[in-house]
């Protein structure tokens, strides 16, 4: 990870890889100090704290979780003494979206010879995804700490005279999606509404919901956009995500109308304009998501992650895409 100053009071902490759980964090260095997102495990959260200490003299007093996914909340416990802020849905959603014991147990299966072999045989894609995660992260010792200050639609923070606005735009990527807006410096920490140089993926809501969230960012006219994943961007960062969503949804629509199953559709859709982004096999979950919209499935319908990762695995193998998640 590296820390990068993006405006007089704002810093982005950017993950070095750009795969599953390699999330960014941020810091607003004003008043008591506000941390945005706390990383995927305790080791990375400590690294985040060390980077923050290079630019901010005291332990930060506030933490915002941009949404409920584990890569944005698993370090919360190390910020003891800080008030944790998140959308009102987070206390209910967190145990479903970010269960540290389940993550540690699942990674453990891949590391035992017998369970590992059975897991790989039953679900090679899920095995590969969990093996990747277990290589990058250590989910031991994590205690889920939910936010205690809860945000509805909007919330204004005054950091000793420096204004920070929290704006709920979910469901789009997840239920509790919050933007962190610094109006005086035209910076938006976008959470996972914006991915850069990696293929976006989303879990709750519809493609239209996601486009509305992107439009909400554009309306703020930011000069700097710190994505949830990938390098810091400028104004065009939302346009790239929108172009991908439009492309996938349009292509998927034609194949859906022909009765082509989602995985087969993902085998056929041309992703040349986005082929340089990491994890191109996320095309499959995105096609599944588009199909959910065409069918009118409820936007909170649960996902079968085994099926999703296996589909990504098959897609990567069939199209010669990198086997990454
Ligand atoms: Zn994320």
292-308 pLDDT per residue, tens: 999 999 988 999 999 99
102: CB partners within 8 A, 6+ apart: none
For residue 40, the CA-to-ligand 1 centroid distance in Å is: 9
Return residues with CB closer than 5 A to ligand 1 (ion): 23, 69, 71, 192, 228
Position 299 scores a pLDDT of 81
Tokens of 10: 């704002």
For residue 71, the CA-to-ligand 1 centroid distance in Å is: 5
The reported pTM is 0.96
Residue 305's φ and ψ, nearest 5 degrees, are -65, -30
Confirm if 178 and 67 have CB atoms less than 8 A apart.
yes
CATH architecture of 2-96+145-241: 4-Layer Sandwich (3.60)
For residue 228, the CA-to-ligand 1 centroid distance in Å is: 6
For residue 156, the CA-to-ligand 1 centroid distance in Å is: 24
Position 194 scores a pLDDT of 98
Output the average pLDDT for the chain. 96
CA atoms within 13 A on the CB side of 9: 23
For residue 191, the CA-to-ligand 1 centroid distance in Å is: 7
Instruction: Express each pLDDT in 78-134 by its tens digit.
Output: 999 999 999 999 999 999 999 999 999 999 999 999 999 999 999 999 999 999 999
For residue 26, the CA-to-ligand 1 centroid distance in Å is: 13
Instruction: Express each pLDDT in 174-226 by its tens digit.
Output: 999 999 999 999 999 999 999 999 999 999 989 999 999 999 999 999 999 99
For residue 199, the CA-to-ligand 1 centroid distance in Å is: 12
Confirm if 187 and 235 have CB atoms less than 8 A apart.
no
Give the span between the Cα atoms of 109 and 260, in whole angstroms: 35
Tokens of 30: 């004003």
Start-to-end CA span in the chain (Å): 19
Q: Which residue do the tokens 């990491």 mark?
A: 278
For residue 91, the CA-to-ligand 1 centroid distance in Å is: 18
For residue 16, the CA-to-ligand 1 centroid distance in Å is: 14
Give the span between the Cα atoms of 34 and 47, in whole angstroms: 16
Position 16 scores a pLDDT of 87
For residue 236, pLDDT beyond 90: no
199: CB partners within 8 A, 6+ apart: 244, 274, 277, 278, 279, 280, 281, 282, 283, 286
Mean pLDDT of 269-292: 96
Instruction: Express each pLDDT in 28-73 by its tens digit.
Output: 999 999 999 999 999 999 999 999 999 999 999 999 999 999 999 9
Position 262 scores a pLDDT of 98
Position 2 scores a pLDDT of 97
Parse the chain into domains and list their residue ranges.
2-96+145-241, 98-136, 247-319
Tokens of 314: 């098959």
């Amino acid at each position: 990870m590296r820390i990068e100053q993006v405006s007089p009071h704002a810093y982005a902490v950017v993950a070095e890889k750009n795969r599953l759980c390699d999330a960014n964090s941020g810091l607003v260095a004003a008043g008591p100090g506000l941390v945005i997102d706390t990383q995927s495990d305790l080791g990375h959260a400590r690294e985040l704290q060390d980077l923050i200490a290079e630019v901010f003299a005291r332990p930060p007093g506030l933490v915002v979780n941009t949404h409920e996914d584990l890569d944005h909340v698993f370090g919360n416990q190390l910020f003891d003494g800080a008030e944790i802020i998140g959308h009102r849905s987070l206390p209910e959603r967190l145990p479903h979206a970010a269960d540290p014991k389940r993550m540690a147990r699942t990674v453990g299966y891949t590391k035992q010879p017998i369970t590992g072999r059975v897991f790989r045989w039953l679900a090679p894609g899920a095995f590969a995804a969990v093996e990747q995660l277990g290589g990058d992260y250590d989910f031991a010792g994590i205690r889920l700490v939910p936010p205690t200050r809860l945000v509805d639609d909007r919330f204004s923070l005054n950091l000793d005279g420096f204004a920070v606005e929290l704006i709920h735009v979910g469901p789009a990527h997840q239920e509790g999606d919050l933007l962190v807006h610094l109006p005086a410096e035209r910076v938006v920490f976008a959470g996972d509404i914006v991915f850069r140089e990696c293929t976006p993926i989303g879990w709750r809501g519809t493609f239209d919901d996601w486009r509305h969230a992107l439009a909400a960012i554009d309306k703020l006219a930011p000069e700097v956009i710190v994505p949830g994943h990938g390098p810091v961007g400028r104004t065009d960062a939302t346009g790239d995500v929108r172009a991908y969503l439009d492309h996938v949804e349009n292509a998927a629509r034609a194949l859906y109308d022909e009765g082509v199953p989602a995985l087969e559709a993902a085998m056929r859709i041309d992703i040349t304009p986005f082929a340089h982004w990491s994890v191109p096999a996320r095309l499959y979950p995105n096609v599944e998501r588009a199909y959910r919209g065409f069918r009118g499935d409820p936007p909170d319908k649960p996902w079968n992650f085994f099926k999703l990762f296996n589909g990504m695995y098959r897609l990567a193998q069939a199209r010669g895409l990198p086997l990454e998640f």
